[in-house]
DNA sequence: ACAGCGGCAGCGGGT
DNA sequence: CTGCCGCTGT
């Protein structure tokens, strides 16, 4: 993260004359108005790089300085932990210690805080578990198997997607069942799955990610006196990235900013809450002031329910609202902004907005078309080397891609080229099996009703508790109307083998002992007596006990599987995470630790001092900026992604994703693609993305254009942009027949793709390649258009070539 | 109960 | 190509 000076380092000279308030120094007139405006509701439409965080943080600082608000009356909500951390840091830089009393957090962590405080009001324990998507999948998988729903075509991902969408719309099983068509067996089955899923979660005293928001809304709606506590408390609610809010989040914001009715105000007063200064003439507490910041052009989360209408219809939703547009960009060169504006203007039905900058044109965009993903990656590595020679630091360079699968080729080449890099947001530490196992132990201690956690650790490490034993325990619990945890304690009654019985009892004792140590023993009814009067032990100590006595770590260390060594190191890493947690949070409980782990899963605290190139998906890139950006894989079926084609609004959303990528670059933007791309183990021809055509030709220097790459030397470098389809640069989002990429862009690229289909090749043939020179065919695989030749080149080494399009001839 | 295997489905993004 | 599932043999 960049160092955040108090002055706005991005803004140009102050455009207003006169005595300057240092708090607002350097803000342009629109930014300043947005920071100073006072009213019920404010929408700040903040284009990419327009300094919105500066505005938000100054707005907060202004409220505090003028005495309009106490820190505790401010709630600032972001989507990511990273954004929350940055905002906190920047507010701290302005107001110092006062920042500590503010809630600056993500939607999810704000809701967890509320739910933990209020859990006991609606049938949960405050030690509830948060199920991540992996847990959710595991649970759904079990339910599908129980119900044999796979025979009806149900998959884990279809079910979890549907449940998630419903929760984002604030639907629950019952409300959904009321509207469903019960003549449809698939509907009936889905409802049964959903019902069991909901029941299991609630029996486990657990919430999934979507529940965190939805349940908070239900809580507020069902208990107005609970809602009133928060409506009274938060006088200023600020929401970042408002274009990414889904319906549940929107509803939450509405609930939080609702006025408190006079009778509820009286109730608050009876509880000893201070209300006198907040009451209006009618005795009500007016709704909190709401500030939302967003940019509909950067809405890229429709897949998880984000509803762009929330921002588009803000003025209708909040009738007395004010809208302020920030269009001056302090990040990129005009060339980059021109490209971005040109691309995004192809999305129709968007509020007009054009970014501009005072910094000048800058360098052209550099384009490159590789023969393969590796060739493309080599371009990235080579250009990074050049940027280095020109004095750019690795940390100022980023490489973006659409899908995580694309990292492989990039990583291979970067390693080979000795470029230091790190992958942001990839496979996460907390998703590794051994980490989930160990966390399972902690979860089972923190929440004895968490059946999923218990099942996970039952046989990890192996103690001879197989599926049969697990089923026996579960049915015992069912029969006795008790928990799985209690069933473990009752193992002796089950008539299992002596070895297994001892193992189960050992696990039950270990968990009980750890619960006493952690101070969670009293959670189970009837076991209060075992609770210890001593204060809860630190998390690390509890974990150490669990690891020592379960033998988990020991078994990994003694394993002869070489991978287990790395797993053991990961577990040790987790142990040091718990120690670190305790240092930072001396009073932090086990539940606090587990909450942090669940919500801050990406341990990608970005420290820009690391001196590495950053690799990430386009989604991860939002909100970040780099001196130089490589946007890779700009191909049809990748960007726009194949799966977006059938979705309403899909291609438009993919275009916004491309736009987000372009606008991350400060000085130098690179666009690259490959002519062939491998997936599922085989290689196919890739077409240049339709979005490339939307960038004016004179903004891009093609080091190798798609045209050049297909017919060496024959075409003009800018053939790609040379011919435009007459008049129509706008395309409807639906994939109408007249609108398929190939038809719409009958340009040089698609027409010039080489076709060697007829070329006969066999092992042993000598060939000449226009780049790699002469070589001998050492292997042939694949059929028809996917025929691949493996060639041992005399000078260039061994390569795999897609025969159909490779620039080769037989000798 | 469990290791080892072969067959098959999946790579769309994140709290 | 990879990871997961179910089958088989011990």
Residue A606 has pLDDT above 70, yes or no: no
Across the range A275-286, mean pLDDT stands at 79
Tell whether omega for the bond before A640 is within 30 degrees of 0, i.e. cis.
Answer: yes
Query: In this predicted model, what pLDDT tens digit does every residue of A544-596 receive, in sequence order?
Result: 999 999 999 988 888 877 778 888 888 998 998 899 899 988 889 999 999 98
Q: Is the CB of A209 under 7 A from strand B?
A: yes
Report the nucleotide nearest the CA of residue A681, measured to C1'.
C1
The owner of tokens 């997607």 is A161
Query: Is A146 noted as a catalytic residue in this protein?
Result: no
Q: E strands, A58-201, where?
A: 74-78, 103-106, 129-131
Give me the mean pLDDT over the A512-516 stretch.
93
Task: Give kind and range of the element (H or E) at residue A267.
Answer: helix A262-270
Q: List bases, strand B, within 7 Å of protein CB.
A: 1-3, 10-15
Q: Does at least one atom of strand B sit less than 7 Å from the CB of A425? A: yes
Given this model, what pLDDT does residue A441 score?
94
Residue A762 DSSP class: -
Active site residue A298: yes
Percent of chain A residues past pLDDT 90, beyond the cut: 36
pLDDT for position A785:
65
* Distance of alpha carbon A515 from alpha carbon A521, whole angstroms: 5
Output phi, psi for A541, to 5 deg.
-70, -40
Tell me if A360 sits within 8 A of A334, measured CB to CB.
yes
CA A527 to chain centre: 40
pLDDT number for residue A607? 52
Would you call A353 a catalytic residue per the annotation?
Answer: no
Pick from A114, A111, A353, A143: which is nearest to A208 by CA?
A111
pLDDT value of residue A426: 63
Residue pair A599/A108 in contact by the 8 Å Cβ criterion: yes
Average pLDDT over residues A301-311: 85
Q: How far is CA A78 from the centre of its chain?
A: 12
For residue A13, the tally of other CB atoms under 10 A from its CB is 7
Residues A231 and A233: their CA atoms lie apart, in Å, by: 6
Q: Model confidence over A734-790: pLDDT tens digits? A: 333 333 333 223 233 333 345 676 778 888 889 887 667 788 988 777 666 667 777
pLDDT tens readout for residues A217-265: 999 999 999 999 999 999 999 999 999 999 999 999 999 999 988 888 8
Residue A618 pLDDT grade (very low, low, confident, very high; cuts 50, 70, 90):
very high
Instruction: Provide the pairing of β-strand A365-370 with A700-704.
Output: parallel
Residue-level pLDDT at A597: 87
Gap from A459 CA to C7 C1', Å: 21
Binding-site residues of A sit at 46-53
Positions in chain C where some atom is under 7 Å from a protein CB: 1-2, 5-6
Q: Contacts for A448-451 with beta carbons within 8 Å, 24 or more apart?
A: A448/A483, A448/A485, A448/A511, A448/A515, A448/A520, A448/A523, A448/A524, A449/A125, A449/A203, A449/A204, A449/A205, A449/A483, A449/A485, A450/A129, A450/A204, A450/A205, A450/A206, A451/A200, A451/A203, A451/A204, A451/A483, A451/A484
CA–C1' gap, A460 and B2, in angstroms: 13
Return the C-alpha torsion angle A139, A135, A485, A464, nearest 10.
90
For every residue of A182-222, DSSP letters joined together read TTSHHHHHHHHHHHHHHHHHHHTTEEEHHHHHHHHHHHHHH
- Full 3-state SS string of A676-707: EEEECCEEEECCECHHHHHCCHHHEEEEECHH
Res. A609 pLDDT band, cuts 50 70 90: low
Q: Per the structure block, which two tokens stand in for A480?
A: 């006795």
Does residue A723 register a pLDDT over 50? Answer: no
Q: Any bridge partners for residue A768, and if so which? A: A774, A809
Given a cut of 60, is residue A810 above it in pLDDT? yes
Q: What is the pLDDT of residues A4-53, one digit of tens each?
A: 333 343 444 444 444 577 777 888 888 999 999 998 999 999 988 898 99
Burial tier of A726 (Cβ tally within 10 Å: 0-12, 13-18, 19+): exposed
In the set A196, A456, A656, A664, the catalytic residue is A664
Q: What is the mean pLDDT of residues A89-109?
A: 88
**A433: nt with nearest C1' to CA:** C3
Per-residue 3-state assignment (H helix, E strand, C coil) for A587-631: CCCHHHHHHHHHHCCCCCCCCHHHCCEEEEEHHHHCCCCEEEEEE
Residue A81 CA to residue A106 CA, distance in Å, equals 6
Q: Are A491 and A498 in contact (CB under 8 A)?
A: no
Across chain A, mean pLDDT equals 83
pLDDT in tens, A434-479: 888 999 999 999 999 999 999 989 988 888 888 888 889 988 998 9
Residue A388's pLDDT is: 92
- Whether residue A718 contacts residue A705, with contact meaning beta carbons closer than 8 Å, is answered with yes
pLDDT band per the 50, 70, 90 thresholds, residue A365 = very high
Strand intervals (E) in A505-608: none
Nearest by Cα to A397 from A631, A553, A586, A571: A631
CA distance A124 to A116: 9
Composition of chain A by helix, strand, coil, percent to 5:
50, 15, 35
Predicted confidence at residue A150, as pLDDT, reads 80
Task: Give yes or no: A241 in active site.
Answer: yes
């Amino acid at each position: 993260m960049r160092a955040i000076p108090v002055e706005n380092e991005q803004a140009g000279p102050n455009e207003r004359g006169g005595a300057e308030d240092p708090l607002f120094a350097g803000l342009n007139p629109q930014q300043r108005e947005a920071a100073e405006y006072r009213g019920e509701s404010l929408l700040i439409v903040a284009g990419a790089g327009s300094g919105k965080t500066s505005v938000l943080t100054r707005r907060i600082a202004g409220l505090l300085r003028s005495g309009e608000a106490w820190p505790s009356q401010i709630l600032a909500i972001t989507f990511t932990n990273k954004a929350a951390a940055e905002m906190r840091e920047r507010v701290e830089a302005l107001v110092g210690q006062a920042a500590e009393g503010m809630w600056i957090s993500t939607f999810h962590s704000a809701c967890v805080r509320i739910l933990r405080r209020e859990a006991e009001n609606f049938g949960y324990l405050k030690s509830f578990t948060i199920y991540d998507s992996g847990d959710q999948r595991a649970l759904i998988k079990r339910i599908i198997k129980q119900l044999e729903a796979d025979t009806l075509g149900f998959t884990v991902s279809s079910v979890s997607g549907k449940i998630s969408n419903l929760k984002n719309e604030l639907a629950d099983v019952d409300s959904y069942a009321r509207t469903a068509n019960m003549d449809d067996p698939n509907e009936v089955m889905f409802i049964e799955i959903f019902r069991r899923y909901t029941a299991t979660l609630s029996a486990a005293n657990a919430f999934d990610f979507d529940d965190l928001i939805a349940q908070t809304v239900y809580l507020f709606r069902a208990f107005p006196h609970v809602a009133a506590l928060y409506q009274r408390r938060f006088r200023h609610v600020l929401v970042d990235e408002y274009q990414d809010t889904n319906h549940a989040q929107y509803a939450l914001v509405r609930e939080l900013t609702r006025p408190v009715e006079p009778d509820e105000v009286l109730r608050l007063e009876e509880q000893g809450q201070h209300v006198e200064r907040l009451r209006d003439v009618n005795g009500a507490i007016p709704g909190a002031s709401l500030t939302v910041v967003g940019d509909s052009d950067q809405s890229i989360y429709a897949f998880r329910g984000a509803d762009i209408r929330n921002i588009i219809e803000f003025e209708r939703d909040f009738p007395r609202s004010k809208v302020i547009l920030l269009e001056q960009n302090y990040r990129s060169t005009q060339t980059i902004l021109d490209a971005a504006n040109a691309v995004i203007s192809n999305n129709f039905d968007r509020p007009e907005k054009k970014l501009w900058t005072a910094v000048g044109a800058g360098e052209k965009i550099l384009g490159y078309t590789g023969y393969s993903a590796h060739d493309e990656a080599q371009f990235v590595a080579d250009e990074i080397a050049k940027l280095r020679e020109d004095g750019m630091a690795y940390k100022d360079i980023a490489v973006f891609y659409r899908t995580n699968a694309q990292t492989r080729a990039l990583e291979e080449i970067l390693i080979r080229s000795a470029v230091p890099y790190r992958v942001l947001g990839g496979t996460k530490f907390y998703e590794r099996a051994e980490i989930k196992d160990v966390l399972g132990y902690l979860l089972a201690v923190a929440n004895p009703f968490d059946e999923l956690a218990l099942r996970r650790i039952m046989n990890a490490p192996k103690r001879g508790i197989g599926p049969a034993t697990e089923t026996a325990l579960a049915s015992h619990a069912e029969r006795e109307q008790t928990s799985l945890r209690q069933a473990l304690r009752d193992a002796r009654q089950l008539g299992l083998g002596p070895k297994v019985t001892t193992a189960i009892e050992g696990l039950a004792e270990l968990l009980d002992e750890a619960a006493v140590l952690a101070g969670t023993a009293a959670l189970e009814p009837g076991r209060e007596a075992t609770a210890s009067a001593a204060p809860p032990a630190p998390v690390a100590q509890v974990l150490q006990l669990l690891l020592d006595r379960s033998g988990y770590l020991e078994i990994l260390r003694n394993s002869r599987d070489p991978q287990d060594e790395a797993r053991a190191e990961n577990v040790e890493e987790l142990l040091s995470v718990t120690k670190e947690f305790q240092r930072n949070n001396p009073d932090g409980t086990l539940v606090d630790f587990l909450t942090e782990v669940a919500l801050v899963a990406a341990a990608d605290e970005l420290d820009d001092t690391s001196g590495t190139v950053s690799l990430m998906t386009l989604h991860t890139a939002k909100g970040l900026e780099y001196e130089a950006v490589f946007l890779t894989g700009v191909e049809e079926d990748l960007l726009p992604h194949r799966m977006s084609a059938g979705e309403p609004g899909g291609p438009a959303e993919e275009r916004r994703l491309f736009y987000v990528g372009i606008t991350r670059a400060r000085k130098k933007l690179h666009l690259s693609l490959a002519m062939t791309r491998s997936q599922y183990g085989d290689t196919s021809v890739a077409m240049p993305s339709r979005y490339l055509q939307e960038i004016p030709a004179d903004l891009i220097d093609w080091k190798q254009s798609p045209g050049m790459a297909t017919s060496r030397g024959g075409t003009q470098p800018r053939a790609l942009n040379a011919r435009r389809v007459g008049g129509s640069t706008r395309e409807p989002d639906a994939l109408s027949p007249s609108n398929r990429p190939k038809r719409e862009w009958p340009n040089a690229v698609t027409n010039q793709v080489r076709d060697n289909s007829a070329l006969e090749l066999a092992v042993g043939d000598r060939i000449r390649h226009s780049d790699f020179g002469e070589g001998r065919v050492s292997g042939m695989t694949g059929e028809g258009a996917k025929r691949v030749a493996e060639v041992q080149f005399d000078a260039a080494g061994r390569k795999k070539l897609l025969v159909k399009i490779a620039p080769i001839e037989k000798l």
